[in-house]
Amino acid sequence: MNLNQDILPNREISFDPILYRKDFPILNREVNGTKLVYLDNAASMQMPQVVIDSFVDYQSRFHANVHRGVHTLSQEATDKYEAVRSKIRDLIHAKSENEIIYTYGTTDALNMVASTYGRQNISTGDEILISEMEHHANIVPWYMLAKEVGAIIKVIPITDSGEINMDAYTSMLSNRTKIVAVTHVSNALGTINPVKTIAELAHQAGAIIVVDGAQAVPHAKVDVQDLNCDFYAFSAHKMCGPTGLGVLYGKFDILNSMPPYRGGGDMIKSVTFEHIIFNDVPFKFEAGTPPISQVIMFGESIDYVNNIGIDRISEYESELLSYATKRANEIEGLTIIGTAVQKASVLSFTLKGIHPHDIGTILDQSGVAVRTGHHCAQPVMDRFNVPATTRASFAFYNTFEEVDELISAIHQVKEVFG
Amino acid sequence: MNDRMKQLYQELILDHNKNPRNFRTIDPADREALGHNPLCGDKLKLYLKINDQNVIEDVAFIGDGCAISKASASMMTTVVKGKTVEEAEELFTQFHEMSMGTLNVDTQENKLGKLTIFSGVRDLPARVKCATLPWHTLHSALHNKKEITTE
- Assign residue A104 a region: left if phi > 0, alpha if psi is -120 to 50, beta otherwise? alpha
Q: What percent of chain B has pLDDT over 70?
A: 97
Q: CB distance A416–B5 less than 8 Å?
A: yes
Is B74 exposed, middle or buried, given 0-12, 13-18 or 19+ CB atoms closer than 10 A? buried
The minimal CB distance from B41 to the residues A33, A365, A381 is found for A381
Length of chain A: 418
Angstrom distance (rounded) from CA A149 to CA A146: 5
Q: pLDDT digit string (tens) for B54-97?
A: 999 999 999 988 999 999 999 999 999 999 999 999 999 999 99
Residue A5 reports pLDDT greater than 60:
no
Would the ipTM clear 0.85, i.e. be above it?
yes
B68 contact A CB<8A: yes
Angstrom distance (rounded) from CA A200 to CA B151: 42
Is B125 exposed, middle or buried, given 0-12, 13-18 or 19+ CB atoms closer than 10 A? exposed
A29 Cβ neighbours under 8 A, 6+ residues apart: A36
Per-residue pLDDT band for A9 (boundaries 50, 70, 90) equals low
A355 contact B CB<8A: yes
Contacts of B124 in chain A (CB under 8 A): 361
A55 Cβ neighbours under 8 A, 6+ residues apart: A242, A293, A296, A297
Residue B91 is assigned to a structural domain of this protein: yes
Contacts of A374 in chain B (CB under 8 A): 40-41
Helix axes A140-149, A106-113, angle to 10 degrees: 20
For A366, the closest chain B residue by CA position comes to B1
Q: Where are the alpha helices (DSSP H) in A93-154?
A: 106-113, 119-121, 140-149
Nearest chain A Cα distance for residue B13, angstroms? 10
Angstrom distance (rounded) from CA A132 to CA A181: 11
Count of A–B CB contacts within 8 Å?
57
Q: pLDDT digit string (tens) for B95-126?
A: 999 999 999 999 999 999 999 999 989 888 88
Tell me which architecture the domain covering A52-306 has in CATH.
3-Layer(aba) Sandwich (3.40)
Number of domains in chain B: 1
Q: pLDDT digit string (tens) for A66-83?
A: 998 889 999 999 999 999
Nearest to A216 by CA among A138, A148, A296, A119: A138
B127 contact A CB<8A: yes
Give the pLDDT confidence score for residue A2 in this predicted structure: 46
Give the pLDDT confidence score for residue A372 in this predicted structure: 93
Q: CB distance B39–A416 less than 8 Å?
A: no
Angstrom distance (rounded) from CA B63 to CA A254: 49
Q: pLDDT digit string (tens) for A155-165?
A: 999 999 999 99
Strand A231-235 with A246-250, pairing: antiparallel
CATH class of A5-31+309-417: alpha beta
Could you give the count of Cα atoms lying within 13 Å of A249 in the half-sphere of its Cβ?
32
Q: CB distance A361–B65 less than 8 Å?
A: no
**What 3-state DSSP class applies to B22?**
coil
Contacts of B19 in chain A (CB under 8 A): none
**What 3-state DSSP class applies to A15?**
coil
Angstrom distance (rounded) from CA A243 to CA A235: 8
Q: CB distance B67–A354 less than 8 Å?
A: yes
Q: CB distance A417–B8 less than 8 Å?
A: no
Contacts of B130 in chain A (CB under 8 A): 357
Q: What percent of chain A has pLDDT over 70?
A: 97
Angstrom distance (rounded) from CA A176 to CA A162: 27
For B66, the closest chain A residue by CA position comes to A355
B20 contact A CB<8A: no
Length of chain B: 151
The whole-chain average pLDDT of chain A stands at 95
Residue A399 is given by DSSP the state: -
Domain residue ranges of chain A, discontinuous segments joined by +: 5-31+309-417, 52-306
Encode burial over A301-332: b for 16+ CB neighbours within 10 A, e otherwise.
bbebbeebebeebbebbbbbbebbbebbeeee
Give the pLDDT confidence score for residue B64 in this predicted structure: 86
Over range B34-61, report the average pLDDT. Answer: 91
Contact, A247 vs A233, CB < 8 A? yes
Mutate to test the interface with A, among B37, B66, B129, B150 (most CBs of A within 10 A): B66
Q: pLDDT digit string (tens) for A33-45?
A: 999 999 999 999 9
Is B27 exposed, middle or buried, given 0-12, 13-18 or 19+ CB atoms closer than 10 A? exposed
Q: CB distance B41–A378 less than 8 Å?
A: yes
Nearest to A158 by CA among A186, A128, A179, A196: A186
**What 3-state DSSP class applies to A257?**
helix
Q: pLDDT digit string (tens) for A180-229?
A: 999 999 999 999 999 999 999 999 999 999 999 999 999 999 999 999 99
Q: CB distance B9–A358 less than 8 Å?
A: yes
Residue A1 reports pLDDT greater than 50:
no
Residue A4 reports pLDDT greater than 60:
no
**What 3-state DSSP class applies to A62?**
coil
Q: How far is CA B43 from CA A71, B25, B73, B147, B148, in A?
A: 59, 14, 11, 11, 10
Report how far Cα A396 is from the mean position of its chain's Cα atoms: 16
Contacts of A358 in chain B (CB under 8 A): 9, 66-68
B128 contact A CB<8A: no
Nearest chain A Cα distance for residue B125, angstroms? 11
Active site residues of A: 376
Contact, A138 vs A212, CB < 8 A? yes
For A373, the closest chain B residue by CA position comes to B40
Give contacts of A 30-69 with B, CB under 8 A: 32-33
Please, what is the Cα angle at B55 between B50 and B87, to 5 degrees? 125
Give the pLDDT confidence score for residue A82 in this predicted structure: 97
Residue A413 reports pLDDT greater than 90:
yes
A369 contact B CB<8A: no
Q: CB distance A381–B66 less than 8 Å?
A: no
Angstrom distance (rounded) from CA A366 to CA A376: 25
Q: CB distance B65–A416 less than 8 Å?
A: no
Q: pLDDT digit string (tens) for A133-169?
A: 999 999 999 999 999 999 999 999 999 999 999 999 9
Give the pLDDT confidence score for residue A12 in this predicted structure: 57
Per-residue pLDDT band for B41 (boundaries 50, 70, 90) equals confident
Give the pLDDT confidence score for residue A14 in this predicted structure: 83
B118 Cβ neighbours under 8 A, 6+ residues apart: B13, B68, B72, B95, B98, B99, B131
Residue A259 amino acid letter: P
Angstrom distance (rounded) from CA A265 to CA A279: 10
Query: Greater confidence, B142 or B145?
Result: B142
The answer to whether the Cα torsion of A101, A106, A107, A111 is positive or negative is positive
Give the pLDDT confidence score for residue A323 in this predicted structure: 98
Over range A100-114, report the average pLDDT. Answer: 98
Q: CB distance A373–B40 less than 8 Å?
A: yes
For A408, the closest chain B residue by CA position comes to B1
Q: What percent of chain A has pLDDT over 90?
A: 93
Give the pLDDT confidence score for residue A320 in this predicted structure: 97
Residue B16 is assigned to a structural domain of this protein: yes
Is A294 exposed, middle or buried, given 0-12, 13-18 or 19+ CB atoms closer than 10 A? buried
Over range A288-297, report the average pLDDT. Answer: 97
Domain of B104, in residue numbers: 3-144
Over range A393-408, report the average pLDDT. Answer: 98
